[in-house]
Amino acid sequence: MKGHERFMLIELISRLFRQPKNGGKPDMSDTQPQEALFGVPLRIAVAAARTKMGDSIDFVIREIGRDDAGNPLAAVFYVDGLVDAGKVSGLLETLVQAAPNAAEVPPPPPTLRQMLQDRVHSGKTVAIPTEEAFYSAVLAGSAVVLVDGCREAFSVSVEGGDKRNVEEPSSQTVIRGSKEGFTETLSTNLTLLRRRLRTTQLRIEYRTIGRFTNTQIAIAYLEGIANPTVLTELRRRLDAIDIDGVLESGYLEEFIQDHSFTPFPTVLNTERPDSIAGHLLEGHCAVLLDGTPFALVLPVTFFKFFLSSEDYYQRYDIVTFIRGIRFLSFIVSLLLPSLYVAITTFQQEMLPTTLLISLAAQREGVPLPALLEALLMELTFEVIREAGVRMPRVIGPAISIVGALVLGQAAVQAGLVSGAMVIVVSFTAIANFVIPSISMSAAIRLIRFGLMFLAGFFGLFGILAGLVPLLIHLVSLTSFGIPYFLPVAPLSLANLKDVFVRAPWKAMRSRPELISVRNRTRQQAGKPNRKEKD
């Protein structure tokens, strides 16, 4: 695609989705008179804050102390539910004790800050100089203390409220390995990561994205190991995002990926902290965000989507075998229905005689052509699968009975579908589940249908005519500038140690090429891990 054509396409798309002229920005300056919070009598500041929050019932303002005129001397602002009730009451207690009664002069701000830091044992206390920072601190779950007449407020971190516990990840289960999965809370997730990488080189950078959601984003990487070009590019792409809300890492994934017009994921997502730690050690970067257990890993290659974190915990020879099964399943999942259609409708010569007769016998009396039969069964399976994901857990057994008995056995017995086709579709479906990454298996499912059409119209040549452009497309993809098909094209023998086979740990002395550029040594050469016995 040439540059100007791409530009025209983007222009066209953006014209389709053109937003109103002001870009949908929350424009409150017109509707509400701007009232200052700082440097005004506290009474006015409290009223201003209340107006700004629109009298929301969960926005709590606690006033402390009264002067002679009955005006409050200090006030604590917080959002109920975002804070830990015990910590807040501790803070209030401290403030009340320290609060000057009417006779005394309020302590000057530096003293107050020192006092809060000394007495409130609930984490950091930060000065809030602007109104914007004031509200974001309140909404982030801090309690903000404002003293009458002060030019600055102080936020005390009292975050709390309900959150999910660390549980076993539901989408990426392992037999051997850590059973911890990320949760929706960013701080918990970062703790899980930090526990695995207890080094000063683990760096975490914060960003806030989303005009309404103000979602906290953390970039995690290992200083000195991660590729600096990738990091710079990642920061640039994240900073360029301007959106009203980010609710899941999928939003970010679409914004920061290199290519939009591809079914293949170029950013890996995982809910396993050990997987993230392993990737960071190889030189990848990770993006975690508040509100989702799924973190992003980048840059990634095509083959990363076929590896599981368990691969590194099991014995290398067994893992090599299992990886063989996975890549075989990938081929089956992509090609089996189309190969079946192509061979049974065009290239029957390829089948052994007995198999041909057996297949012909099963197709005896089946009303639909093989292509339609395959499409119908594949679509049926996709429907069952989607139903299985969406339906309430209690109805689960019902759908499996309907799926297995009615659509499988009964369809064959009624002569609507041939038995071989049911086997092909089921095997394809099961092979699809072997692929560890959901986003990759979804891409394969999509392409499978295209290949089935090609197979139904053009036979094996059609499949080839589909696969060759697919391969061209895959090789042309990049993930943050790193070739998507990395260890294979361009060929990198060093990286091939951990793709189709998993070399023993002793043999993996270096980090993968291109992913990690600065410090590639994993193990010092010439230092055996253990002494050989005589």
Partner 1 sequence: MHKSCSLILICALFSCILAGCWDRSELNDLGITSATGIDWSEGRWIISYQVVVPSGMWSGTGGNGSSSQATIHVFSSEGKTIREAASNSNLEIPRQLYFAHTDLVVIGKAAAEHGLADLVETYLRSVEARESVVMAVTEQRASDILKLFVPLERIPGDAINKIMSKQEAISGYFSIVRLIDFARDLYSDSRTTGVPEVNLRGKRDAEAHSELTSQDFFKMTFSDSRLRLTGVSVFKDARRIGRLDLKESFGVSILSAEVKKSIVAVPCPSASSPNGFSSFRVEKNKDESDP
Are 158 and 50 in contact, with CB atoms under 8 Å apart? no
What is the nearest approach in angstroms of partner 1 to the Cβ of residue 362? 7
Backbone angles phi, psi at 509, to 5 degrees: -90, -15
CA proximity to 241, closest of 191, 207, 271:
207
| Residue number with CB closer to partner 1 (457 or 500) | 457
**Which two three-digit tokens encode residue 477?**
């993809």
| Residue number with CB closer to partner 1 (253 or 373) | 373
What is the nearest approach in angstroms of partner 1 to the Cβ of residue 262? 13
CA proximity to 170, closest of 160, 162, 180:
180
What is the nearest approach in angstroms of partner 1 to the Cβ of residue 413? 6
Backbone angles phi, psi at 215, to 5 degrees: -75, 135
| Residue number with CB closer to partner 1 (233 or 258) | 258
Region for residue 39 given its phi and psi (left: phi exceeds 0; alpha: psi -120 to 50; beta: otherwise): left
Are 252 and 213 in contact, with CB atoms under 8 Å apart? no
| Residue number with CB closer to partner 1 (73 or 412) | 412
| Residue number with CB closer to partner 1 (37 or 417) | 417
In whole angstroms, what is the distance from residue 155 CA to residue 107 CA? 17
CA proximity to 135, closest of 291, 26, 292:
26
Contacts (Cβ under 8 Å, ≥6 apart) of 290? 184, 185, 186, 215, 216, 217
What is the nearest approach in angstroms of partner 1 to the Cβ of residue 133? 47
What is the nearest approach in angstroms of partner 1 to the Cβ of residue 455? 10
| Residue number with CB closer to partner 1 (2 or 176) | 2
Are 249 and 195 in contact, with CB atoms under 8 Å apart? no
CA proximity to 275, closest of 255, 239, 300, 254:
300
Residues engaged in binding partner 1 (CB under 8 A): 1-2, 5-6, 9, 344-346, 348-349, 353, 356-366, 369-370, 412-413, 415, 419, 454, 457-462, 464-465, 468-469
| Residue number with CB closer to partner 1 (154 or 346) | 346
What is the nearest approach in angstroms of partner 1 to the Cβ of residue 6? 8
Complete DSSP assignment for 214-250 = -EEEEEEEETTTB-HHHHHHHHHHHHT---S---SHH
What is the nearest approach in angstroms of partner 1 to the Cβ of residue 337? 15
What is the nearest approach in angstroms of partner 1 to the Cβ of residue 333? 23
| Residue number with CB closer to partner 1 (363 or 448) | 363
> To the nearest 5 percent, what fractions of the chain are helix, strand and coil?
50, 15, 40
Q: Kindly tell me the burial class for residue 243, based on how many C-beta atoms sit within 10 Å of its own C-beta (0-12, 13-18, 19 or more).
A: middle
What is the nearest approach in angstroms of partner 1 to the Cβ of residue 371? 9
| Residue number with CB closer to partner 1 (220 or 336) | 336
In whole angstroms, what is the distance from residue 263 CA to residue 138 CA? 41
Number of residues written out for the chain: 534
What is the nearest approach in angstroms of partner 1 to the Cβ of residue 358? 6
Are 139 and 34 in contact, with CB atoms under 8 Å apart? no
| Residue number with CB closer to partner 1 (449 or 458) | 458
